[in-house]
Every structure is written in C-alpha cells, then in structure tokens.
Amino acid sequence: MILKGKAIKYGNDINTDVIIPGRYLNFVKPEELAPHAMENLDPDFFSKFTKGDVIVAGQNFGCGSSREQAAMCLKYAGVGAIVAKSFARIFYRNAINQGLPVIESSEAVDATDNKDVLLIDLDKELIKNVTKNLRFTMQPVPEFLQGIITAGGLVPWLQEKSHS
C-alpha cells in the first residue's frame, strides 16, 4: 500500500476532544462527523484539506477519550495517514480498526515541515519526504495489524475472513 499527500503538522498531545468535540458524539455516520474534524484546534482544517493529506504530529497523538469518532472523522475527511512520534493507545487501536494508517517515526516528524509532500510505502515500511528528498524508516507493525489496515478496517477484515 503506497500513499502520497502533503503534510499538515501539529504538536504534541493532540487529544480526542480537539479532534472531534464531545458535542458531535451523537453522530454515528462518518459523513456527519468529518466536517467537524479538528474543529477545536484548527477550525479551517476541513476546508483547507485535500484528500490524501497526511497529518504529522508529535508525541501522544489521540490522547484522551475512547471515542472512535476521532479516527472515523479523520478517515472520512480523507486523511491518508497519520505520522506521529507516538500515539495514545486507544486511538491507535481505533485508527487501525477504521483502516486509517498510523505510523510511528520520530525522525520523519522532526524533518518534515508543513506542506512537505510525503510518500509512504506501508509494505516496505518506508517514508519519503519528496520535498526534501529524505527517507525514513517507521516502527514495524505486526503483520495481522497490517492486514486489518489493508482490508480497510476490522469490520471488512472480519468479513473477508468469514468469506475465505
């Protein structure tokens, strides 16, 4: 799986309340959630965003509540992947279950600026900063988790398994 998009950079401890505020948690449909993605942090996020863009962030991305809507709204908004120094554990699971690639690479985060173009090869576990012509490795992901991401999330993965 190869992804390409421009970086949108944020800092450390980006929490689920700023990714999707509590007032929208009554929504269960991704199309209702997506326009409110990152609203408490970056109100222009949805309008300036191009499908496939990559969120690049510091440590502990997605800390806070267990709300899966945080991963859902980013995925449906068209986020190609999130590259962070580290992820909070519940968000990490939720993102994989939604088929949203979550990639750990401190080096890539440090070297990437806003709007740099990134090329991510999930199979080879490589990140290329096209703008700066730099390459980085990523923390390896267990094979079964890669399978879930490639299938598009846990539900399609379970459906594929039950049909095979």
Partner 1 sequence: MASTIAEKILARASGKKEVKSGEIVDANIDLAMSHDNTTLVSEIFKEIDKENVWNSQRIVIVLDHRTPANTITTAENHKLIREFVKKYNIKNFFDVGEGICHQVLTEKGFIHPGMLIVGTDSHTTTAGAFGAFATGIGATDMAAVWSTGKLWFKVPRTLGFDISGELSKYVTSKDIILYLIGKIGADGANYKACEFYGDTIENMSIDSRMVISNQAMEAGAKAAIIPPDKKILDYLKLRDKESFEMIYSDQDAEYEKTFEFDITNTEPQIACPDKINNVKPVSKLTGEKINQAVLGSCTNGRLEDFAIASDILKDKTISKKVRMIVVPASRSVYLEAIKKGYIEIFLKAGAIIVNPGCGPCLGLHQGVLADGESVISSTNRNYKGRMGASGAEIYLGSPATVAASAIKGEITNPKDMIL
Cα separation, 134 vs 83, whole angstroms: 15
- From candidates 86, 105, 112, 129, binder to partner 1 by CB under 8 A: 86
Q: Is 105 in the site for partner 1 (CB under 8 A)?
A: no
150 near partner 1, judged by CB under 8 A: no
Evaluate whether 117 touches 137 at the Cβ level (below 8 Å).
no
Nearer to partner 1, 53 or 104 (CB): 104
Least separation, in Å, of the C-beta of 16 and partner 1? 8
In angstroms, the CA 62 to CA 140 distance is 20
Between CA 42 and CA 130, with CA 100 as vertex, the angle to 5 degrees is 75
Distances, alpha carbon 42 to alpha carbons 13, 48, 136, in Å: 14, 10, 28
Element (H, E) at 47: helix 45-48
For residues 13-72, which are near partner 1 according to CB under 8 A?
13, 15, 17-18, 21-23, 25-28, 40-41, 59-60, 63-69, 71
Nearer to partner 1, 6 or 93 (CB): 93
Do residues 136 and 29 make contact, with C-beta atoms less than 8 angstroms apart?
Answer: no
User: From the CB of 93, what's the least distance to partner 1, in Å?
Assistant: 6
- 83 or 118, CB closer to partner 1? 83
Nearer to partner 1, 61 or 129 (CB): 61
SS3 content of the chain, % helix, strand, coil (to 5): 35, 20, 40
**Nearest C-alpha neighbor of 100 from the set 57, 68, 124:** 68
CB of 117 to partner 1, least distance (A): 29
For partner 1, the binding residues (CB under 8 A) are: 13, 15, 17-18, 21-23, 25-28, 40-41, 59-60, 63-69, 71, 86, 88-90, 93-94, 97-98, 142, 144, 153-155, 158-159
